[in-house]
Amino acid sequence: MFAYYATSLLTAITSLSLGIFVFLKNPKNKLHRSLFRLNMAVCVWSFFLFLHYASRTYFQAMLSLYILHSAVILIPACYVHLVVDLLNLRKPREIKILYYICAMFLPLVYTTYFIAGIEPKLIFRFYATAGPLYILWMITYIIMAGYGAFLLVKHYRNSSIIKKIQIRYVLCASFIGFIGGATIYPLFYNIPMLPFGEHIIFLYPVIFSIAVLKHDALELNIAIKRTIVYSVSIALITLTYLVIVLLSERFLRGIMGYQSLSITVAAAVIIALIFSPLKNRVEAIIERFYIRNAYQRMQKELIDSDKSKALAQLAAGLAHEIRNPLTAIKTFCEYLPKKYNDKAFRDNFSRIVNDETEKINSLIDRLLEFSKPTTLKIAPCDVHEALDYTLNLLSAETLKSKIDIIKHYNKENHTIYADSVKLKHVFFNLIKNSIEALGEGGNITISTSSVGNKFNIDITDNGCGIKEKNLGRIFEPFFSLKDQGTGLGLSVVQSIISEHNGIILAKSAPGLGTTFTISLLFAKSVS
Amino acid sequence: MRDIPASAIGGPVMKKKILICDDEIGVRESLKLILSDKYDLLFAEDGKKAIDEIERNPDLKGMLLDIKMPALNGLELLKHLKRHNKNMPIVVVTGYQSVETAAESLKIGAANYITKPFRSETVIETLEQAIS
């Protein structure tokens, strides 16, 4: 029985906290508002279900049953509303009709046509028995839930990658919510089956929130963590309270006379004393067993979604870049039959077609470098050695351009787990960029430092700098500020650093210079 | 980069002077191949050089202009020219096959646009229509 108290309360807490969190995150967003509505309906339903289970009198049980049904009849309409908003469909009239249909059941809830009565069933002190019209509500529930799921499946194929992930989450949550919820009803018809599906319903608001906040995965991570911590803490405290009450009933009643007020006060004191350490303990355990994995998974999803965006930009950029050489080849081929006997044309043809084909080839090489799924060869890598190796490769250019290299290497550990070849590629691109930004003269300063489990590398030049409006775009594929640049260098650099679970940041002031900061993990942790 | 003047190629008829502004040598060579029989061509590799050529050649009759270029891109150059009342017909040549880019260039004041890779007839017809 305790399990039913706990899970209904847990569902109420998760739906309330995540509903409010999502709503406050962006109250103007219609999808956030839809999730808030659905979560509030689920919250009222599950909270009054908790009170219903805990009821000691017929009146309490009936009252809580009426209130929970007033909320539950709105859930299917709220659900379809959320699906429609998620898919960005315009169905305001249909949604209104669904709400009206649900609202039509409201007056019925308080009659015996809907709930014939309550009586003890299986382990429950009070459990409802369905009235003759309850079946109508069941059919409506199934049709609306099915309609929502149908819309999701129908629009799945033509959705973007991110939307597909959201749809998958919503389908999963729908399955859990509606199948879990469906197990409540057999006992309404005196079929002796416990509503065991109720124990998983608390996952329903959690998964819905993940779906809605797909782009804010890290913040959601914090919200889920807090929700879990408080839910588990409250469940443990409820358990403590019940244990105290039960023990008091059994052992103290005979000895000192049972006084419920004094027991409640004693329980409150004990709970007040244990709440904070208990919460901290729960937090630590959840941090260790759940959040770390969730965080890593979400971080990977973020990187994957960034990569998808990058690949989309890449495709758009490729279309443009490849059209230039294609234009030249096409035009010269078009004129070949007409001007075949013109030696000057033939020479030009040979030169242009060759050069332009080479351009396409080198573009494809660089593209493959960016987009091919790379397997990192992770091994201990001496960062200073990799930096020196790269500086040596570029020494002819730095000498020619009269650029001074200033090194501030840290003296502590400078061996990290990384792919040394790819890291050299990163350093090569960044230092080459600095050389180009400097033109002639100037300094490139390379500093390394370690903070905790992170190893940082700063590459700074005092060159022309990057304007603020361009700084946010420098890692985009095909975004180039150089006349001859392909715009792939820095996107490749970012891609390599992401694969190492690292971060790269750029700071710049026009006329003063630019600093690229790379932060990598010492440990063997790569995506 | 100035091409061979019309007088050197021969013929008493004065050819109309057209400026081709594109950062890609392959595209410049292609347009030269298509148009050099009919027009006296001038070339610029970027927007800034195009402005210099326009200042030096007040008798320019038209311009073929790429959108994506370093220094000053095609749309910026178009805006600059309109601000300075340089009202010669400009045909935008773009690799962006999006309606938005074409619409934007027409809104700013381009006479027409063609997309890469282009057909030689399209280039000739579009330019003729624009400067006639």
Q: What is the pLDDT of residues A410-442, one digit of tens each?
A: 888 889 999 888 888 889 889 988 988 888 888
pLDDT higher than 60, residue A220 = no
Q: Which CATH number fits domain A317-372: 3.40.390, 3.10.129, 1.10.287, 1.10.10?
A: 1.10.287
A29, A60 in Cβ contact below 8 A?
A: no
Distances (CA, A) of A117 to A4, A51, A62, A223, A290: 21, 17, 8, 40, 43
B26 → closest Cβ in A320, A325, A482: A325
Q: How far is Cα B35 from Cα B20, in angstroms, rounded to an integer?
A: 10
Q: How far is Cα A36 from Cα A345, in angstroms, rounded to an integer?
A: 70
- pLDDT digit string, tens, across residues A152-206: 998 887 776 667 777 888 888 888 887 888 888 889 998 888 888 888 888 888 8
**Degrees to nearest 5, angle at CA A13 with A299 and A148:** 70
Buried b (16+ CB within 10 A) or exposed e, A266-283: ebeeebeeeeeebbeebb
Q: The tokens of A397 are what?
A: 């250019």
Give the model's pLDDT for residue A424: 86
Report the mean per-residue pLDDT for chain A. Answer: 80
pLDDT higher than 60, residue A111 = yes
pLDDT higher than 50, residue A526 = no
Taking contacts as CB-CB distances below 8 angstroms, the residues of chain B near A483 are 23, 46, 70-71
Q: How far is Cα A391 from Cα A394, in angstroms, rounded to an integer?
A: 5
Taking contacts as CB-CB distances below 8 angstroms, the residues of chain B near A321 are 95
Give the model's pLDDT for residue A384: 93
Taking CA–CA distances from B71, the nearest residue in chain A reads A483
Give the model's pLDDT for residue B107: 87
Phi and psi of A240, rounded to 5°? -60, -45
Give the model's pLDDT for residue B4: 47
- pLDDT digit string, tens, across residues B51-72: 999 999 999 999 999 887 766 7
Q: Which residues of chain B have pLDDT under 50?
A: 1-10
Calculate Rg over the CA atoms of chain B. 14
- Residue contact A483–B23, C-beta within 8 A: yes
Q: How far is Cα A252 from Cα A379, in angstroms, rounded to an integer?
A: 66
Q: Which of A321, A323, A340, A347 to mutate to test the interface with B (most CBs of B within 10 A)?
A: A323
Taking contacts as CB-CB distances below 8 angstroms, the residues of chain B near A345 are 33
- pLDDT digit string, tens, across residues A324-343: 889 999 999 989 998 889 89
User: What distance separates the 2 farthest-apart alpha carbons in chain A?
Assistant: 120
pLDDT higher than 90, residue A17 = no
Q: The tokens of B47 are what?
A: 């927007």
Q: The tokens of A82 are what?
A: 């959320």
Share of chain A above pLDDT 70, in %: 77
- Residue contact B70–A355, C-beta within 8 A: no
A348 → closest Cβ in B29, B70, B96: B29
Averaged over A56-70, what is the pLDDT? 91
How many A-B residue pairs are in contact by the CB < 8 A criterion? 66
Strand-pairing partners, residue B17, are B40, B60
A88: alpha, beta or left? (left if phi > 0; alpha if psi -120 to 50): left
- Residue contact B26–A348, C-beta within 8 A: no
A405, A472 in Cβ contact below 8 A?
A: no
pLDDT higher than 50, residue A218 = no
A330 → closest Cβ in B24, B95, B117: B117
Share of chain A above pLDDT 90, in %: 22
Q: How far is Cα A383 from Cα A455, in angstroms, rounded to an integer?
A: 9
Phi and psi of B41, rounded to 5°? -105, 140
Give the model's pLDDT for residue A160: 66
Kindly report the CATH number that applies to the domain delimited by A1-212.
1.20.1070
Taking contacts as CB-CB distances below 8 angstroms, the residues of chain B near A326 are 116-117
Give the model's pLDDT for residue A40: 93
pLDDT higher than 90, residue A99 = yes
Q: How far is Cα A370 from Cα A396, in angstroms, rounded to an integer?
A: 27
Q: The tokens of B67 are what?
A: 């959108």
* CATH architecture of the domain with range B6-131: 3-Layer(aba) Sandwich (3.40)
Residues of B with CB under 8 A from a CB of A: 23-27, 29-31, 33-34, 46, 68, 70-71, 95-97, 116-120
Averaged over A2-30, what is the pLDDT? 83
Give residue A527's pLDDT band: very low, low, confident or very high (50, 70, 90): very low
The letter for the amino acid at A443 is N
Taking CA–CA distances from A332, the nearest residue in chain B reads B30
Give the model's pLDDT for residue A428: 86
Q: Which CATH number fits domain A374-527: 3.20.130.10, 3.50.50.60, 3.30.565.10, 1.10.3720.10?
A: 3.30.565.10
Taking contacts as CB-CB distances below 8 angstroms, the residues of chain B near A330 are 30, 117
DSSP for residue A149: H
Helices (H), B36-67: 47-56
Taking CA–CA distances from A322, the nearest residue in chain B reads B95
Averaged over A478-506, what is the pLDDT? 78
Give the model's pLDDT for residue A71: 92
Distances (CA, A) of A196 to A75, A124, A215, A430, B14: 20, 13, 33, 59, 93
Q: How far is Cα A162 from Cα A148, in angstroms, rounded to an integer?
A: 19
B10, B99 in Cβ contact below 8 A?
A: no
Question: Hey, where are the domains in chain A?
Answer: 1-212, 215-309, 317-372, 374-527
Q: The tokens of A358 are what?
A: 């080479």
Give the model's pLDDT for residue B2: 47
> On the CB side of A336, how many CA atoms lie within 13 Å of its CA?
12
Q: Which of B9, B20, B27, B69 to mutate to test the interface with A (most CBs of A within 10 A)?
A: B27
- Residue contact A324–B26, C-beta within 8 A: yes
- pLDDT digit string, tens, across residues A173-186: 888 887 888 888 88
- Residue contact B68–A320, C-beta within 8 A: yes
A334 → closest Cβ in B27, B70, B120: B120
Taking CA–CA distances from A483, the nearest residue in chain B reads B70
- Residue contact A335–B29, C-beta within 8 A: no
Q: How far is Cα A79 from Cα A83, in angstroms, rounded to an integer?
A: 6
pLDDT higher than 70, residue A238 = no
A436, A485 in Cβ contact below 8 A?
A: no
A113, A131 in Cβ contact below 8 A?
A: yes
Taking contacts as CB-CB distances below 8 angstroms, the residues of chain B near A436 are none
Q: How far is B37 from chain A (nearest CA, A)?
A: 13
User: What distance separates the 2 farthest-apart alpha carbons in chain B?
Assistant: 43
- What predicted TM-score, i.e. pTM, was given to this entire model? 0.43
- Residue contact B119–A328, C-beta within 8 A: no
DSSP for residue A328: H
Q: The tokens of A328 are what?
A: 């030249």
In chain A, count H helices and then E strands: 20, 9
Taking contacts as CB-CB distances below 8 angstroms, the residues of chain A near B98 are none
Question: Hey, where are the domains in chain B?
Answer: 6-131
Q: Provide the ipTM.
A: 0.81
Residues of A with CB under 8 A from a CB of B: 319-321, 323-332, 334-335, 345, 348, 352, 355-356, 359, 480, 482-483
Helices (H), A73-160: 75-86, 92-104, 106-109, 134-156
A501, A525 in Cβ contact below 8 A?
A: yes
B117 → closest Cβ in A323, A480, A483: A323
Among candidate residues A186, A459, A496, the one with its CA nearest the CA of residue A310: A496
Q: How far is B45 from chain A (nearest CA, A)?
A: 10
First-last CA distance in chain B: 26
Among candidate residues B128, B125, B129, B3, the one with its CA nearest the CA of residue B57: B3
- Residue contact B34–A331, C-beta within 8 A: yes
- pLDDT digit string, tens, across residues A290-324: 555 555 555 555 555 555 555 665 666 666 678 88
Strand-pairing partners, residue B65, are B21, B92
Q: How far is Cα B22 from Cα B31, in angstroms, rounded to an integer?
A: 10
